[in-house]
Each structure stands twice: as C-alpha cells, then as structure tokens.
Amino acid sequence: MKFEVPKGVFLLPLTLLVIVFLLPQIRNLNQSSSYKIYSSISEFITTPKVRCNIYSGNWTLYYESPYYNNETCHFMYHKHNCLKHGRPDREILKLRWKPDECELPLFDADQFLKLVRGKSMAFVGDSIGRNQMESLKNMTELDLYGYRNAFRTALRTIANLKGFKGLTYLVTHSPNHYENGEWYEGGTCDRTKPFTKEERHEYKREGLLKSLYDIQVEELTSVEKEARKNGLHFGLIDITELMTIRVDGHPSRYGSMVDNDKSIKDCVHWCISGPVDTWNKFLLYMMKLDGEN
C-alpha cells in the first residue's frame, strides 16, 4: 500500500518500522538547542534539550483535544473507528503518555513531513503495523498530501508534454451524498429533490469537500501560470457547488455497485441521463469560448 508525500512515497503495509533514511535529519534535529512542547492547540513553550528514557512513565489525564476525531479527520479506517461503531465512553481520548524524567513533545506534523520530504518509509510486519500507519496518516493528513501530489504530477506532466498544444480542463471535485452512514455502513441517498438554499447546510462533508476543491484550484493556478508562457491553456470546469445541491441525482438503489458480492447504494456516481449531462454543456461552452480567444 503506497501513500505519497512531497517528492517521496510511503510504503505502508505492516509492523516493523524501517528508518535508515531519517538518521541525518534526526541528528540535525537533536543538535538544535531547543524543541517545542505544545501545551494546547494555540500555544507552545520551549525547553532546553533533554535526554531521558521516554519509555518509562505513566498514562496521565490530559484534557486538551485529541489530534483528530470523527469530525476533523475524514480518512479514519472504519474497522478501527471505535466511536463510530458505538463505543459509549470517551475516556480513551483523555490519557497521554508522560515519561518519568521529561516531557514528551506532542506530535508536530509539519516537522515530521519536513523530515521525510523526498524520502521513503516502510512499515513491515502484520496488521498491527497497519494500525500505526493508519494513525500516522490521520495525524499528518497524508491522504490530502497524496491527493495534492497526484494533481500536481498529472497537471505538470501534461504541461511538459513535448509538442502538446491542446486545451486542458480540470473538472473540480464531484461530491458524494451518503447519508445515515458511509457506503460500507449501508449509507443511502434517497432524496428525490435537490437541496434548497435553506437545506444546503445539511450537506455533512463540507470541510473535506472544501479541502479537496482548494487543492485542485491551487494546483491548477500554479501550473497554469507556467503553461501560459509555453502557449498552453489550462481551464477550470467548476462543478463542485452546483453538484453539491443535486443530492437527488445519484443512482442509489437504481444503479449497480457491488463490493464483495454485496450490492451497495451508489451515492457517488450520477444517473445518466441526469445532472452530469450539464458538465458537457460547460465543456462545449468553454471550448467555444477558448477557441475564439
């Protein structure tokens, strides 16, 4: 299983963490005079560098928010998502490991990603290794980094194609509309009318949708500036918001999507004919407009 980080790849199937590539960077980090200990999301303090046995200590009460939860993280592995599956208590989130001799700094995602930039990491072993890997993905939002890198790579590959002089259009992210659970939980999309303006707030994936949309627009804007110098044109077909309203437009039970021989309600793709036909109206409009220019 692979997940990309900037200029590099995580190879993440299983349990023994192999770290040969990080030694120079970690050595440089340890040579710094101080490091961060975050006492909350909004503040941090610095302390002199210390060395201690970080594995000897106790689990102590910690009242700050966890690194991620079901609301802030959209990529949690569903099989191990205890709260989504009905665990009633939240005490599991209120304990933090405290070494006897020092403070263990909270995880700094930016620092971690700087250390692994351009490198590869492997978790080798069994499903417990995957457990750690899934945690790391959530703590660093690696899926969003991978999403960004995928678009960056695709767009720059097109822009650098030798002899290419065509038009390129990026169709923005198409929303799904699962309600009452995800696709693997029996989620549905049985509405028969679009969202009204008053109902628009009922769409539950706004945070993730905005993140994906912003990544697409940012990467397109970046490559378009360079491509224009070479006489190329990159355009945007912006369908995200107008398709978010069309909660009624999916095949649902009237299409065919199967996982492990089990029929799943399709709230990802769009009925044909249906609202997806509008995308091609946009395409023709943009082609004519750009052809004239």
Q: What is the DSSP string of 73-108?
A: -S---GGG-TTTTT----GGGSEEEEESSS--PPP-
254 vs 58 pLDDT, higher one = 58
Do 175 and 235 have their domain in common?
A: yes
Q: Which range marks the domain in which residue 279 is found?
A: 145-292
Do 183 and 81 have their domain in common?
A: no
Do 130 and 149 have their domain in common?
A: no
Look over the chain and give the mean of its residue pLDDT values, rounded to a whole number.
Answer: 78
Q: What's the confidence (pLDDT) of residue 12?
A: 36
- Can you tell me the distance from the alpha carbon of 244 to that of 255, in angstroms, rounded to the nearest whole number? 20
Do 102 and 172 have their domain in common?
A: no
pLDDT tens-digit series, residues 247-262: 999 999 887 666 656 6
68 vs 175 pLDDT, higher one = 175
Is residue 78 very low, low, confident or very high in pLDDT (cuts 50, 70, 90)? confident
Do 123 and 174 have their domain in common?
A: no
Do 159 and 120 have their domain in common?
A: no
Determine which of 58-67, 163-172, 258-267, 269-278 has the lowest per-residue pLDDT on average: 258-267
Of 111, 140, 169, which residue sits at a domain end? 140
70 vs 243 pLDDT, higher one = 243
Do 249 and 266 have their domain in common?
A: yes
Do 118 and 225 have their domain in common?
A: no
Do 136 and 27 have their domain in common?
A: yes
Percent of the chain scored above 90 by pLDDT? Answer: 37
Of 85, 110, 140, which residue sits at a domain end? 140
Do 123 and 172 have their domain in common?
A: no
Do 123 and 149 have their domain in common?
A: no
Which whole number is the average pLDDT over 268-275?
Answer: 94
- Can you tell me the distance from the alpha carbon of 151 to that of 214, in angstroms, rounded to the nearest whole number? 12
Number of domains the chain contains: 2
Of 124, 140, 156, which residue sits at a domain end? 140
Determine which of 133-147, 186-200, 208-222 has the lowest per-residue pLDDT on average: 133-147
**Cα dihedral 17, 65, 207, 225 in deg (nearest 10):** -60
- Can you tell me the distance from the alpha carbon of 271 to that of 231, in angstroms, rounded to the nearest whole number? 37
CB atoms within 10 A of CB 72: 13
Q: What's the confidence (pLDDT) of residue 40?
A: 35
Is residue 193 very low, low, confident or very high in pLDDT (cuts 50, 70, 90)? very high
Residue 109 has pLDDT above 80, yes or no: yes
pLDDT tens-digit series, residues 2-49: 444 444 333 333 323 333 333 344 334 443 333 333 333 333 334 446
Please compute, for residue 68, the number of CA atoms within 13 A of its CA located in the half-sphere on the CB side. Answer: 18
Instruction: Give the closest residue to 247 by CA, choosing from 198, 202, 286.
Output: 202
Is residue 71 very low, low, confident or very high in pLDDT (cuts 50, 70, 90)? low
Q: What's the confidence (pLDDT) of residue 72?
A: 64
Instruction: Give the closest residue to 233 by CA, choosing from 163, 293, 153, 151.
Output: 293
Q: What's the confidence (pLDDT) of residue 293?
A: 67
Structure tokens at 168: 């390129």
Do 116 and 246 have their domain in common?
A: no
